[in-house]
Structure 1
Amino acid sequence: MLEKINLEHILFLDIETVPEEESFPDLPEEKQLLWEEKTRYQRKEEFTAEEFYERAGIWAEFGKIICISVGHFRFKEGRRSFRTTTFYGEEKQLLQEFSALLNSHFNKPEHLLCAHNGKEFDFPYIARRMIINDVALPPKLHLSGKKPWEVMHLDTMELWKFGDYKHYTSLKLLTSILGIPSPKDDINGKQVRKCYYQNEMPRIITYCEKDVIAIAQIVLKFRREKLLSPEEVTKV
């Protein structure tokens, strides 16, 4: 089935998130208590709520999106290209810009969103942050009442699971075993928070866009097609 999908109908994406405040004491007291309660099970007695706060970016209730990178294929006159771009800056604005992209260019029934672990992380995280920021959900993220086969989302981690719901494979591991150039050649996910609060946003954007390219490469690998060369990738 994957081989039958028109690659131009897929929007590949990845998000980067950080805790909403740089440090735990910066949170209002009520939010500190809510964080302590929310993470009690995960922390057990190994970490205090403050020590555990460095992981707050993975929860949409305590984190924020700092960039969304997207990429899509274009085929013209027999030539293939892959274009990437990144929405970044103030969270509400970047969510509005991303929503506008979906509503204007990826709003048809045949259009799909594709991410690695997107169904568990990227897609619901974006939707939750849109609700929090009072941004209208685009149809591609409005899943209420839809049957599973009506949800036009692709997830490269789910593709790799082959029905094994206990299995987790990181993007770094999957690219390695499939012979795809690693997107983790500068920073990794654990360093994003530090880079963000040290005003190193360009590094984060590059990191995020490399993840998008890697996700597209995985789909090509599944389709047994030639991987993208650096010359075929353009940043716009």
Structure 2
Amino acid sequence: MKYAMVIDHQRCVGCGACIIACKNENNLTEGISWSYKITETVGTFPNVRFHYIPTLCNHCANAPCALGCPTQAMHKAEGGITMHDPNKCIGCRYCIANCPYGVISYNWEEPHQQWTQKKVLIKDCTSSGAEQASAYGIPRRPPYENPERGLTLPAERPMGVVEKCTFCDHRLMRGLLPYCVEACPADARIFGDLDDPKTEVSKLIGKYKPYRLKEHLGTEPKIYYIRSFNPGTYTQTKGGL
């Protein structure tokens, strides 16, 4: 089994739903995004074009982050997922230095500190973060935490470790698609098994000429991009497992 994702530029509308969905699903703290984007404006007014490239961990077959990790906290897991074990992480950040895509983050502070702060914005008017969290009955955790994330990783990664996209491995183990794929309203993200020629990802990579980010480095990324504008069509889908 070899998991892969196809991102269709022609279907993507740049709404950012994938970024928000990822944050909610994985309990990400402020300032950290596992799913993000590259944006660039090309040309001179009035002949200007806007390029939007959704990004996430590429789960490279030859992952530089895993090869450089001294404790094997960053490692290759089932399905070719580049996985991270925060219990083994010593916070050296070699993986960040080795990753050519800039998709690994480091927790410099305790996550979700706003929910433990007692300072109020307006005295006798607004509540503090700690008061709001207590009102929800979860005084030490954010009230919107997704407990399912805790199936394979700590629900909240602690201070002093790195973190990154895992293709929502906690969903894959239950036969569900990554949440960014589910949340995409345009079905611009298609997920599946590259080893199975019958999956939609295999068909799309065969039908359209894909490209991958920084292919020349030999990392063999598993995120494929297809089409910018192409009149060809295919049945709209999110893929499957």
TM-score, with length taken from structure 2: 0.23
**Higher helix proportion:** 1
Between structure 1 and structure 2, the one with the greater Rg is 2
Whose RCO is larger (CA < 8 A, sep 6+)?
A: 2
TM-score, with length taken from structure 1: 0.24
